[in-house]
Amino acid sequence: MQAFEYASPTSVKEAVDMLSSNWGETDVLAGGTDLISLMKEYLHTPKRVVNIKGIRELGGIRKSGGGLRIGATVTIDELAESAPVRAEYPSLVHAALGITSPQIRNMGTVGGDLCQRPRCWYFRQGFGLLGIENGASLIPDGENKYHAIFPHPPAYYVNPSSLAPALIALGAKVKLTGPGGSRELPVEQLYTIPKDNNSRETVLAPNEILTEIIVPSAKGVRNATYEVRQKEALDWPLSAAAVALKMKGTTISSARIVLGHVGPTPVIAGEAERMLAGKSLNQNLAAEAGKAAVSGAKPLSENAYKLQLTRVAVKRALMEAAGLKA
Amino acid sequence: MPNYSWPPINTRREIGKRYTRLDGMDKATGHAKYNSDVNRPGMLQSALLTCPHAHARIRGIDTSAAGKLPGVRSVRVIVSAGGEVLWAGQEIAVVSASTEEIARDAVRLIKVDYEVLDHMVKEDDLTKVGNRAKPAGEQVTGDPDKAFKEAEVTSEGQYGIPVLTHCCLEPHGQVVEWKGDAIHYWPSTQNVTGIGPDLAKNLEVPATNVKVHQDHIGGGFGSKFGSDRWGIEGARLSKDAGGRPVRGFLDRSVELTIAGNRPSDFARIKLAAKRDGTITAWESTSWSTGGMAGGGLPLIPYVLTDIPNKRLNHTAVQTNCGPLRAWRAPNHPQASFLTCSAIEDLAAKLGMDPLEVFAKNIGYAPEARRETYLYQLKKAAELADWSKRWHRRGDTGAGPIKHGMGVGISTWGGAGHQSTCQATIHPDGSVEVELGSQDLGTGTRTVISQVAAETLGLPHTAVKVKIGDNSYPPSNGSGGSTTVGGVSSSTRVATMNALEKLFEKVAPSLGATPDKLEAVGGKIMVKGDSSKSLTWAAACKKLGVQSIVETGQNNPRNPRGLNTQGTAGVQIADVSVDTETGVVRMQRLIAVQDCGLIVNPRLAESQVFGACIMSICGALMEERIMDAKTGRVMNPDMEFYKLAGIGDIGDIIVHLDIREENDRRGVIGLGEPPTIAGIAATSNAVANAIGVRVPMVPMTPDRVLKALEERRSA
C-alpha cells in the first residue's frame, strides 16, 4: 500500500475541496470494506484519502415528503434495522441482510455499496477494469462463471451493488455533490459503461461525492428482493432480482423488475415488467415473467446457468412481493 | 520394568474425561500468541516478489530502484537471470524493510524481464493435455475382460474432484533472527523438532544453532513441515541486517497459490457385478495433477481393495501450477469419492440400497476391519434414520426442494510417531512434562496433561505441559494423524518411569516395597490399604533437593500396545437440493468413527466436527480455479475460494465408536480419518436427491443445474 495523505473533513464542502479533479489522485473513504483492499492490491494508489465518516450531515435516515432520505454513510446494518425502512421497504431489508457478514454490515455504508468497484477477478488481479490483455478481453473465453449474462462489451463484469436493484425498482435517486453544487439522478443513471480500462463504471466525477439516497414513498407498493447465493455465509449473489409492484386489489397496475449481478449495470427487465401490467399474479405468470426477464441475455462460455438462476430470482421475488407462496 | 499398559477403561480417572482444552480460554480471548503475532524489538518486515507468469525464463532482474527506496534494508534475488519459472506465484525475490508497506512497495520497484513461455494449467479434459500426460502404465489383477463379459450387470460413470489449496487461517511464514551462531526461529510449523535441522541444512549451519519456538499454530493440515523458501530467505535477510529479526508471512493470495495443494483426481470407472450386488470387476482410467509433479494413482478401489478382477490405468498430468503438499488425509478423500460414487451408481442401477451393496462387498475390505465396517454401517444408518428416510434414487416428492441421503467410507493408519517425553517431579510436588511436539489446535497439550495425570494420580491441571520448543526432547512432526499416539505413549512411559523412582524413594516410609505402591487421588499408598498412604506433596518432599527427571519414548517399532493403527469410518450425508437454483444445503452429516482408546472424547469429537466441515467445503464449494490463458489462480482469496460458514454446515452428528474392544487396541490418531468419507457421502446424497449424478465436485449450482438439464434432455 503506497503512503498517502489522510484527511478527515467535517463538512461536504470541505471534503469536495479536498478531492482532485483527476481520477487516481484521491479516494473517498467511508466504511473502507472495499477501498482498503483496493489499496492493498495497488489497484487504487491515491495520494490522499478523504474520510467522510466524520461528516455529520451524511449520516442518518430521515422521513421526507412521504419517502426517505438516507445519508451516504448510513451503515448497511443501520439500514436493515431502521424502523421506517422495515415498514415499507422489505426489498431493501432483504438486500441488506443478503450481505451475510455482520462485520461488513457494521462497517459498510449505503453509499459505499453503490460506489464499490466490481469484483471481477481479472480486474482484481490487475488486468484492468475490463480485463484486457494484449488488446483483447480475457473474459468472454476465460473464467467467466460469475460474470455478466447481459454483457455490454467491452464490459463483462457484473455490478456488485446489493442495494442498487431494489433502489432502482423503488424509483430512488442519488444526490451527488461536487464543487459546482449538487445534482440528483435516478439510481439507474449512476452507472455507465466504461470505454476503456481507464474509465469508471459510474458517472461520478472524481471530485464528486455521493451524499444521499432519496427513496420515494412505497405506500401500497409491494416490493421484495430475492438473491440466489450459494452459501449462507458471506457470498456474492450469483443472481438477484428486486421487484416493486403497484397493485389494484390483486391486479398489478405496474411493475418494476431490476436484475442484479447479471450485467455491468443493474438490468431493468422491461419486457417482464410490461407483461405483468393489468394481470393478477400467480405462479405461472411469475415464471413467465422470469423467462421474459432473460430474453435479451447473451451468456458467456461458462455462465449460461445464470439464466436459470435469474428466471428463478424474478419468479421468487414476484411471489414474495405479492405475498404468495413460491 | 513397570507395566506401562493403559489402565482398564472402567478404572481411569483422567483419561477419557471430557475436559475443555487447556489453552481454549487463551485462544478465545486473544491471549494466545501465534508466531505471526511475534513482535521483536527492531523487527524488519519482508515481502516476496512472485512471478506473474505460469512459465517463463528470466532474462534479467534489476533491483536497484527497490534497494534505494527509503526504509528498505535489503533485497535478495531468489531466481536470477537465466532461471526458469514453472508456475505463477513462484518466488523471484524478497525484500526486507522497516514496514510491511514499504517492503511491498519495494517489491513493485523490482524490474524483471521475463521471456514468457508456453504453459498448461488445466487438466480436467485429458484429451487436451498433450505431452503433459505421463501415463503410469496399466495394472491388471485377475481377468477383468472375462468378468465384464460374464457380468450380470455393469455400471459406468465419470467422476472428478478438483485441486484444492491449503488455506490455513494463519498463513505460512516466520519471524527469524540470525545473530552470530544463534538462529532464533518462530515459524508456523507442524514440526517443532524437525524444522530446525531443515532450516540449518539449507543455511549450511549446524542444527544445534537453530532455536525453534512455537506456542500455537493457526492450522497446518499437512502443509507446514519444512522451512520453505521464505524461511530460508528470511534467515538470510536477518543476517544481512546484522541479526535484526525479520518477519515474513505470506499474504492470502500467495498462500493459496504456492503454499501447497491437494491434487485433483478424475476417473472413468466401470464396475461389473452380479444381480445381488456382488462386485466382480473394476476398471478405471484415471488422471490427476498436483502441479509439475503430476498426481499419483489414486488409492482405488478404495477400502474394497480385494475386488478380484481389476484393470487400472492412470495418467499423471504436469501442470504449471503451484506444488502439491500433504493435505489432511493425502489421496484418501479423492479415492473414497471415486470409489463410493461408482458403487452408489451401481446400487442405483440395481435398484438396491447402497448400504446393502457396501455390506455385500465388505469381504473385499481388509479382514481386520470388516466387522467394524458392518457395525458402523448399521450404526450410521440408525443415527440417520436411514430405514425410514432413505428412498431410491430421485426424490419423487412435490416441489423444487429434493432430499437425499448418501454414504461414504474411510480408512486410515494413525499409529503413534517417534516421540520422547521428559517428566520431572520436583520436591515441592510440582510436575512438568516436556516434549518437542506441537499442538495443531487438536488439543495435544490437554491430552498430554491427562495422560500424565492419570499415571501420577493427580488432576490434569496439576501437570505443567511444555511443548513447542526444540530444546525439549524430540518428537516427530504432526503428520499422518500420528501425534496423539506418539505423545500419549511417550508421556505414559516417562511419567511411569518417574513414578517408579518416587515409589523407590517413599516405599521405606510406607513400610512396603515399591512394587506394592500406587498413585491415586493425589496420594501414594500401599495397594489395597488406604491407611498406609502419603499425600503427593508429602511423598515428593522426601526427594529432598533432588528432582526426579525421567524420560520415556514411543518407538513406533515397539509401541508396547499403547498405540496402534488402522481405523474404519462411515459417514452419511443428508442434503436438500433446490432443483430450480442448483443450490445444495447440507442438512445433517453423520460421522461414525472408529478410533481406539480416546484420551479426551470432547477433543476427539471436535476433530471430527472440523473434519466434517472440511468435507462439506470440498463437496459443495471449495475449488481452485485456474485461468487457461493467464495461467493464474483466479480465486486465491477467501471471497471466491469458497469455504463454509456456520450456516452452511447443517447438523453434524458425531459418533465415536468407543467400545471396549476398540479401546483395547490403544490410542489411534484421529486428525485425518474423519475428513475422508464426507465428500463421497455428500455426492451420493445429491445423486439420491435429484436422480442423477453430478459428476464433478464441488457440486456448485452450475454443475447441479447442468446435471439436471442433461437428465431432462436424455
Among the partner residues A42, A138, A303, nearest to B629 by beta-carbon distance = A138
Which residues are CB-neighbours of B506 under 8 A, at least 6 positions away? B517, B524, B534, B539, B542
Q: Which residues of A touch B706 (CB under 8 A)?
A: 305
Residue of chain A nearest B701, judged by CA positions: A230
Among the partner residues B628, B645, B700, nearest to A234 by beta-carbon distance = B645
Cα of first residue to Cα of last residue in chain A, in angstroms, is 48
Q: Which residues of B touch A138 (CB under 8 A)?
A: 627, 629-630
Cβ of A312 and B582 within 8 Å?
no
Amino acid, single-letter form, for residue B453: A
Q: Which residues of B touch A3 (CB under 8 A)?
A: 101, 105
Cβ of B644 and A119 within 8 Å?
no
Cβ of A231 and B632 within 8 Å?
no
Q: What is the largest CA-CA distance in chain A?
A: 60
Q: Which residues of B touch A141 (CB under 8 A)?
A: 629
* Neighbour tally for A97: CB within 10 Å: 17
Integer Cα distance of B282 and B343 in angstroms: 10
Q: Which residues of A touch B108 (CB under 8 A)?
A: 42
Integer Cα distance of B121 and A94 in angstroms: 40
Q: What is the pLDDT of residue B121?
A: 98
Q: Which tens digit of pLDDT belongs to each residue from B596-641?
A: 999 999 999 999 999 999 999 999 999 999 999 999 999 999 999 9
Residue listed under C-alpha cell 532450516: B199
| Residue B43, burial from CB neighbour count under 10 angstroms (0-12, 13-18, 19+) | middle
Among the partner residues A141, A142, A305, nearest to B702 by beta-carbon distance = A305
> pTM here?
0.97
Among the partner residues A1, A138, A302, nearest to B104 by beta-carbon distance = A1
Cβ of A308 and B634 within 8 Å?
no
Cell of B67: 534497494
Q: What is the pLDDT of residue B228?
A: 98
Rounded mean pLDDT, B574-596? 97
Integer Cα distance of B689 and B402 in angstroms: 5
SS (H, E, C) chain A: CCCCEEECCCCHHHHHHHCCCCCCCEEEECCCCCHHHHHHCCCCCCCEEEECCCCHHHCCEEEECCEEEEECCCEHHHHHHCHHHHHHCHHHHHHHHCCCCHHHHHHCEHHHHHHCCCCCHHHHHHHCCCCEECCEECCCCCCCCCCCCCCECCECCCCCCCCHHHHHHCCCEEEEEECCEEEEEEHHHHECCCCCCCCCCECCCCCCEEEEEEECCCCCEEEEEEEECCCCCCCCCCEEEEEEEEEECCEEEEEEEEEECCCCCCEECHHHHHHHCCCECCHHHHHHHHHHHCCCCCCCCCCCHHHHHHHHHHHHHHHHHCCCCC
Top-confidence residue, B228 or B714: B228
Q: What is the pLDDT of residue A249?
A: 86
Say yes or no to pLDDT of A41 above 80.
yes
Q: Which domains does chain B have, with CATH numbers?
A: 9-32+415-554 (3.30.365.10), 35-118+172-249 (3.90.1170.50), 261-414+565-713 (3.30.365.10)
Q: What is the pLDDT of residue B577?
A: 98
Integer Cα distance of A124 and A37 in angstroms: 10
For B419, phi and psi rounded to 5 degrees?
-150, 140
Closest Cα of chain A to B623: distance in Å? 13
Integer Cα distance of A256 and A312 in angstroms: 16
Residue listed under C-alpha cell 500420528: B482
Half-sphere exposure of B286 (CA within 13 A, CB side): 35
Q: What is the pLDDT of residue B108?
A: 97
Q: What is the pLDDT of residue A130?
A: 97
Q: Which residues of B touch A305 (CB under 8 A)?
A: 582, 701-702, 705-706
Half-sphere exposure of A263 (CA within 13 A, CB side): 24
Cβ of B702 and A145 within 8 Å?
yes
Q: What is the pLDDT of residue B296?
A: 87
Cβ of A305 and B104 within 8 Å?
no
Q: What is the pLDDT of residue B595?
A: 86
Cβ of A146 and B640 within 8 Å?
yes
Give the three-state DSSP class for B178.
strand
Q: Residue A325: pLDDT band by 50, 70, 90 thresholds?
A: confident
Q: Which tens digit of pLDDT belongs to each residue from A256-312?
A: 999 999 999 999 999 999 999 999 999 999 999 999 999 999 999 999 999 999 999
Cβ of B705 and A302 within 8 Å?
no
Give the three-state DSSP class for B605.
helix
Which residues are CB-neighbours of A158 under 8 A, at least 6 positions away? A118, A119, A120, A146, A147, A148, A260, A261, A262, A263, A264
Q: Which tens digit of pLDDT belongs to each residue from A129-165?
A: 999 998 999 999 999 999 999 999 999 999 999 999 9
For residue B690, give the nearest of B373, B457, B404 by alpha carbon. Answer: B404
User: Is B343 in contact with B358 (CB distance < 8 Å)?
Assistant: yes
Among the partner residues B580, B627, B642, nearest to A235 by beta-carbon distance = B642
Q: Which tens digit of pLDDT belongs to each residue from B551-579?
A: 999 999 999 999 999 999 999 999 999 99
User: Which stretches of chain A sit within 8 Å of chain B by CB?
Assistant: 1-3, 42, 100, 119, 121, 124-125, 127, 133, 138, 141-143, 145-146, 228-236, 238, 302-303, 305, 308-309, 312
Rounded mean pLDDT, B695-703? 98
Share of chain B above pLDDT 70, in %: 100
Residue of chain A nearest B634, judged by CA positions: A121
Closest Cα of chain B to A68: distance in Å? 33
Cell of A81: 434495522
| Residue B201, burial from CB neighbour count under 10 angstroms (0-12, 13-18, 19+) | middle
Which residues are CB-neighbours of B25 under 8 A, at least 6 positions away? B31
Cβ of A231 and B645 within 8 Å?
yes
Cβ of A234 and B581 within 8 Å?
no
Cell of B473: 526432547
Query: Any idea of the CA torsion for B219, B220, B226, B227, to the nearest 10 degrees?
Result: -20
Among the partner residues A1, A127, A143, nearest to B625 by beta-carbon distance = A143
Query: B642-653: b or e for each residue (b if 16 or more CB lie within 10 Å)?
Result: bbbeeebbbebb
Cell of B480: 499422518
Q: Which tens digit of pLDDT belongs to each residue from A217-226?
A: 999 999 999 9
Within B167-222, strands assigned E span 173-179, 182-187, 210-212
> In the 8-state DSSP scheme, what is residue B21?
P
Q: How many residues does chain A have?
A: 326
Give the mean pLDDT of chain B: 97
Amino acid, single-letter form, for residue A26: T
- CA torsion sign for B65, B68, B72, B75 is positive
Q: What is the pLDDT of residue A1?
A: 85
Q: Which residues of B touch A103 (CB under 8 A)?
A: none
Radius of gyration over alpha carbons of chain B, in Å? 28
Residue of chain A nearest B650, judged by CA positions: A232
Say yes or no to pLDDT of B1 above 90.
no
Integer Cα distance of B450 and B599 in angstroms: 7
Best B621, B702, B706, B708 member to test A by mutation, with max A CBs in 10 Å, is: B702
Rounded mean pLDDT, B23-44? 97
Integer Cα distance of A128 and B520 in angstroms: 71
Q: In this complex, how many residue pairs, one in chain A and one in chain B, have their CB atoms less than 8 Å apart?
A: 81
User: Is B491 in contact with B456 (CB distance < 8 Å)?
Assistant: no
Q: What is the pLDDT of residue A298?
A: 98
Integer Cα distance of A236 and A261 in angstroms: 8
Say yes or no to pLDDT of B229 above 70.
yes
User: Which stretches of chain B sit within 8 Å of chain A by CB?
Assistant: 101, 104-105, 108, 580-583, 620-621, 625-630, 632, 634-635, 637, 639-640, 642-648, 700-702, 705-706
| DSSP H/E element including B48 | strand B44-50
The two beta strands, B529-535 and B523-526, are antiparallel
Say yes or no to pLDDT of A326 above 80.
no
Cβ of A100 and B634 within 8 Å?
no
Which residues are CB-neighbours of B172 under 8 A, at least 6 positions away? B188, B223, B224, B228, B230, B249, B250, B255, B259
Best B583, B624, B642, B686 member to test A by mutation, with max A CBs in 10 Å, is: B583
- CA torsion sign for B238, B240, B241, B247 is negative
